[in-house]
Structure 1
Amino acid sequence: MAGFTLAHVSDPHLPPLPTPRIWELAGKRALGYLNWTRNRHKYHRREVLDALVGDLHAQRPDHVVVTGDLVNLALEAEFAPALSWLKDVGEPDRVTAIPGNHDTYVRATRRRFAEAWADYLHGDAQCDVQFPSLRRRGPVVLISLSSALPTPPLMATGTLGRVQLSALEHLLQRLSAEQAFRVLLVHHPLRSRSRIKRLTDAGELIALLQRHGVELILHGHDHIHSTIWIDGPSGKIPAIGVPSASALAHGHAPAAAYNLYQIERDTTAWRCEQIVRGIDEKLQVRELNRARLV
């Protein structure tokens, strides 16, 4: 079987932030705008994001996944530029996106991401956006979840909910008889040290994966390199996060990076190698690490 290369990018927090209308700066957005103007604009940089995407194109992956937080405050004026950026990354048949908490930042625009980016979100057999969704690309099955929902100020939690988890269980049961490399996409990590940033029903998701399994879990949200291992029915499952795709190094957060996964199957088993590529202080992208996952 020919190899398949999957690229994983997350949390571009697309800069620059459009100028909000006065009426848009209420409640949670007011605090988010203050944080952006005082801090976040300093290290979420468009030139960093463009350099990273340029390197990604040079690597010629077969498919790209973007695990959320394309925008910042979910202002109406943010969604069209985010769609243009997605088009720069690739056509909808070559790019799969899911929402993050910043894409559903407030109730007023909580569904705009689904309207604006629908071609990058919906499954192969769907006409509208619903989760979980499923896309087949070569030997890979991409299973998209949405943990994104509006939360109160100073909160960034995510929730899948019983309906979505139940649908995921049925989906994984149907896939169990297939010889496919199953990749689960979710914005929030399955384990978090922060009460205000956690996936509230992570325990239920982990229990489901222990019963049915996938080969790989990809997420964003924390803006760091991370790998944890979840028990699955046939062995350990890697759950891997990446830094923000637009970030300069700051505090404990590393500079922008993305991951490549080279996926192959021999006569008896899957093989998957992870390649980490990240940006340096000269805005040059280089290989940071390489590891065999399976």
Structure 2
Amino acid sequence: MAAVNVGRRRKLRINARTRVVVSSMSTLTRIKLHFSETFATLLSPFTLLSWAVCIVVAVLAGPFGTYAGMNLQTRLVYWLVIVTIAIVIGHAARAAAVALIGPRRPILFDLVAATLVVIFLSPVIRIVRGVTEPSLDGLSLISIGLNTFVIAAGVFVLRRQSGLEQPGSYWVKPTEPEAPVPRLCRRLSDEFQGEILRLSASDHFVEVTTVNGVETLRMRLADAIDEMDPTHGYCVHRSHWVAHSAVVGIERENSHKLFVKLSNGDELPVSRKYRPNLVNAGLID
């Protein structure tokens, strides 16, 4: 029996689809997490294709006077360096904007990200341009910054409108009144906002499982359940509460052991004390 319980606990941990993050984590830890997630796409096929296309177009078109002031080989080196550094800085700017602003304010998010690109990329452009074209005089850092801002802002707007950044619009008009949100959602980080599937007690913490992952909050299970109103759900165990909408089935191991199956694949034990809750709901006979 003990072996079965251990196996079930392991299965539950494996079925949790994403990382558990303690809400009291430091700002530095959150920033590191956002940077790690953002830079995971740095070598994605889409990013590499964009990198190659931008270099080819820039070398052939020679914008900002590079066609007249540089030969083909110099333009190739110049734009290879600039586009590569710009993509790295763009990823860093996006990660910083996620950590500082969050996804709920898209206009401010894109403005901050574009401004960060200007701050760090403009000096690089000025230095590289001076090295590849020493005879060029009067290249203003301000003019470089303005051009960089226009391009960076355009890239972030394009990402949002094409669905690569959420929300995909700056002005979202709700077609119908939003459903009441449980008070517990206010405690969740932006990346874990979404429909809550279950609550599980672990020592002095509560694991809140949403459709976007699992976050751990320092609070009592009873208080967390109280903050789930008006979401309808059931206690199935002294350590577990599930939302009614998340239940997809019941697994019966034997006449005495039941497990409730959730839409994300988790399976939670149903104790004898709380079985009447599911009987009254018509989920089990």
TM-score bracket, shorter-length normalisation: under 0.3
Write 1 or 2 for the structure with the bigger share of strand: 1
Q: Larger C-alpha radius of gyration, 1 or 2?
A: 2
Write 1 or 2 for the structure with the bigger share of helix: 2
